Structure 1
């Protein structure tokens, strides 16, 4: 068994596509119209193009429990998911220069360093570097 797809709920798929590709550096993999303005929209990591796909899921717009959960995580300051990076400080610097807003600056915690940013689409995302 292996993970091939991970969903992130987004309130606006096009806005999310722009943020995740232009600022975070993901690559668009699939973009299939599903009707009603929705798309099967997946991304892959530039560094791991045959790795898991990241689905930009419009669930908060169509399924109230998804919206409630997404809002609760955001209000609590909890990340929806995390992305591993080689150097949290370098990513923090790069992303802040691109206008990305961080709620947690690079912080060491045991064997990791992490930071948390707002993806502008309803989620906090955590960056993690193993020390």
Structure 2
């Protein structure tokens, strides 16, 4: 079964991509990592990694109008959801704190997102 046409270079790197493993990961880690995703929108965001054994690790956060940024780091596994909650108090005048008159401004919209399936079949050249 052919997935791409003969004119597509499947080894071509897109802007921002590079060969090799991400810093801090080795080949064994990559064999366990199934996917990674993240997004940041305005004053909240989420990052998660999913592993082939079913474990999920990540965090999400939100910054309220009161200047408190709440972050939940978590692991979800066959024993349940294990959160660790931290809070940080920000300067109310900071651009990092939503205000009624600015929080719907376009500059606080989608800042970034990514979803990558990392797992490569055993025996693949990557």
TM-score normalised by structure 1 residue count: 0.21
Q: Higher helix fraction: Structure 1 or Structure 2?
A: 1
Give the TM-score normalised by the residue count of structure 2: 0.22
